[in-house]
């Protein structure tokens, strides 16, 4: 069984979706640890309720990004994770940290990458009047939000959407796409070699698309 460490900063609804997949045996994996950089992240409570170990490393206690990241490595590595899952982990990671976990660290970003890297993605998508928006699960590489995109959940943007409504729709698709990707990994379908991602043994050239209509 694959072992996973999940990094969070907040509510942890994506963590919950992965935990639910495991609980209903749709996913054969074990979450060894949930690590948060914020002591009051609600996701810590979700993990504790499921009897999953938790740890807090408060980034404010460190004087540099590098020293914070080194402390995270110290805490994570004894669990020997096969996969690090960033689930709403709102810290930029140092190159050393990213390279340490290259090919075994994935992130979910609330946009159809390469569109809307960074913050305020829903607001920016609405301002541009795009017809579709969504979320991307990608491998983490040193450049922010730029690693190979594994899968995307796509949702329509409605004429009368508010940022809140759009965010809710994106969140809903995130909770389908992220556990699916973790499942592909745990089944050995999703692999990574020589800086490249493979799905079922084939080079992953375009992301797998999951449309809201078909989800």
**Interacting residue with ligand GAR among 3, 11, 30, 146 (CB under 6 A):** 11
| Cβ closest to ligand GAR, residue 103 vs residue 110 | 110
Nearest distance, CB of residue 13 and ligand GAR, angstroms: 3
Decide if 100 is catalytic. no
Specify whether the backbone of 146 is left (phi greater than 0), alpha (psi in -120 to 50) or beta.
alpha
| Cβ closest to ligand GAR, residue 81 vs residue 110 | 110
Query: Per the residue annotation, which of 109, 122, 138, 175 is the catalytic one?
Result: 109
Does position 141 bind ligand GAR by CB under 6 A?
no
**Alpha-carbon gap, residue 1 to 20, rounded angstroms:** 17
Tokens of 91: 């810290």
Tokens of 89: 């982990």
**Alpha-carbon gap, residue 189 to 17, rounded angstroms:** 20
**Alpha-carbon gap, residue 133 to 189, rounded angstroms:** 26
Does position 134 bind ligand GAR by CB under 6 A?
no
**Alpha-carbon gap, residue 159 to 126, rounded angstroms:** 9
Does position 110 bind ligand GAR by CB under 6 A?
yes
> Among all chains, which residue has been given the structure tokens 């807090």?
56
Backbone angles phi, psi at 76, to 5 degrees: -75, -45
Does position 14 bind ligand GAR by CB under 6 A?
yes
Does position 173 bind ligand GAR by CB under 6 A?
no
Nearest residue to 83 (alpha-carbon basis) of 173, 187, 206: 187
| Cβ closest to ligand GAR, residue 42 vs residue 198 | 42
| Cβ closest to ligand GAR, residue 145 vs residue 204 | 145
**Interacting residue with ligand GAR among 2, 10, 50, 124 (CB under 6 A):** 10
Which residues sit at the interface with ligand GAR, rule CB under 6 A? 8, 10-14, 43, 87-88, 108-110, 135, 171, 174
> Known catalytic residues?
109
């Amino acid at each position: 069984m694959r072992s996973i460490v999940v990094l969070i900063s907040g509510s942890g609804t994506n963590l919950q979706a992965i935990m639910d997949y495991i609980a209903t045996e749709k996913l054969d994996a074990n979450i060894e640890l949930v690590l948060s950089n914020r002591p009051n992240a609600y996701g810590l409570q979700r993990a504790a309720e499921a009897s999953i170990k938790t740890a807090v490393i408060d980034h404010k206690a460190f004087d540099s990004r590098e020293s914070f990241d080194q402390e995270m490595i110290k805490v994570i590595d004894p669990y020997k994770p096969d996969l690090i899952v960033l689930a709403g982990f709102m810290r930029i990671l140092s190159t050393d940290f990213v390279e340490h976990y290259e090919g075994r660290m994935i992130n979910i970003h609330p946009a159809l990458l390469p569109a809307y890297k960074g913050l305020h993605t829903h607001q920016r998508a609405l301002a541009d009047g795009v017809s579709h928006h969504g979320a991307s699960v990608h491998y983490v590489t040193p450049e922010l939000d730029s690693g190979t995109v594994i899968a995307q959940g796509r949702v329509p943007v409605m004429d009368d959407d508010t940022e809140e409504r759009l965010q809710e729709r994106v969140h809903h698709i995130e909770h389908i796409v992220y556990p699916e990707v973790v499942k592909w990994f745990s089944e050995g379908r999703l692999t990574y070699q020589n800086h490249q991602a493979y799905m079922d043994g084939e080079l992953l050239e375009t992301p797998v698309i999951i449309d809201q209509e078909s989800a």
